[in-house]
Amino acid sequence: MSKGLFITFEGGEGAGKTTQIRAVTEWLNGKGVEVVPTREPGGTPEAEKLRDLLVRRDGGNWTAEAEVLLFFAARHMHITDVIKPALQEGKVVICDRFTDSTRAYQAYGHGQELEFINKVNDLVLQDFKPDITFILDLPAKDGLARSERRQSEIGSDDSDSEDRFEKLDVTFHEKLRQGFLEIARREPERCVIIDALQTPSSITKEIKVLIDKKMGGNNG
Ligand SMILES: Nc1ncnc2c1ncn2[C@@H]1O[C@H](COP(=O)(O)OP(=O)(O)OP(=O)(O)O)[C@@H](O)[C@H]1O
Ligand SMILES: [Mg+2]
């Protein structure tokens, strides 16, 4: 059976995930590769309903554990209904955030037990994980500045205007950043840290080389 490639993009707010996913999708489509761009939480109708609960301020007062379970309920639907079927058809799935964001925000950011998240992850995903994860790394203040600029560009009438986690707290975002770096240190064979202070096109160039290498490796 043909097997596609599962790519995830991670990093704090404003790191450039969405920008890079657009560029990489366009590049792959240009080469005739079928791409399924998607995002978390969300990616299926059911998971998008859970996204609404998770990202809006009036979504409910969940305990930390319940919140993690909601993320994984959404993730389970997403993997089952979208990600695995696409991979089985040999497509490239590119996901904007995945389990590493749950680890970074809930554990490194909010102090929820990392072990709890990892156990739930193992239970729900078993040995399923991204083939490659790009962690877009930049200082918290730079990411937040970009994020603010974008918010003012898009106005309030966009799905991106949903209430975000701790939008403006630099200390929190610095914890996230250290969390993502620690995650990369723990799984160096999966995670690549990208200097997100580079220009968008330099970043895309770096990512293309790594994807080409992965695809070559998978096909050969
Ligand atoms: N390498 C870059 N250099 C400078 N600005 C950038 C770069 N990449 C993206 N931007 C700009 O920064 C803003 C945020 O980018 P983008 O939406 O891609 O980030 P994101 O990681 O998806 O953020 P979020 O987590 O909030 O969805 C946008 O206005 C985008 O044009
Ligand atoms: Mg984005």
Q: What is the mean pLDDT of the chain?
A: 91
Average pLDDT on 9-26 reads: 97
Which atom number of ligand 1 is nearest to the Cα of residue 12? 25
Domain span including residue 72: 5-219
Helix, strand, coil in percent for the chain, rounding step 5: 60, 10, 30
Q: What is the pLDDT of residues 136-170, one digit of tens each?
A: 999 999 999 998 887 777 654 444 456 555 455 89
CATH value at residue 142: 3.40.50.300
Tokens found for residue 17: 């995930």
CA count, 13 A, side-chain hemisphere, 151: 14
Average pLDDT on 20-25 reads: 98
Counting the structural domains of the chain, the total is: 1
Amino acid at 84: K
Which atom number of ligand 1 is nearest to the Cα of residue 202? 1
Q: Which residues surround ligand 2, an ion (CB under 5 A)?
A: 17-18
Confidence grade of residue 219 (pLDDT, cut at 50, 70, 90): very low
Question: Residue 2: its pLDDT value, please?
Answer: 55
Q: What is the pLDDT of residues 84-135, one digit of tens each?
A: 999 999 999 999 999 999 999 999 999 999 999 999 999 999 999 999 999 9
Question: Residue 3: its pLDDT value, please?
Answer: 84
Q: What is the pLDDT of residues 171-186, one digit of tens each?
A: 999 999 999 999 999 9
Of all protein residues, the one whose alpha carbon is nearest to atom 9 of ligand 1 is 16
Question: Residue 154: its pLDDT value, please?
Answer: 64
Q: Is the CB of 15 under 6 A from ligand 1?
A: yes
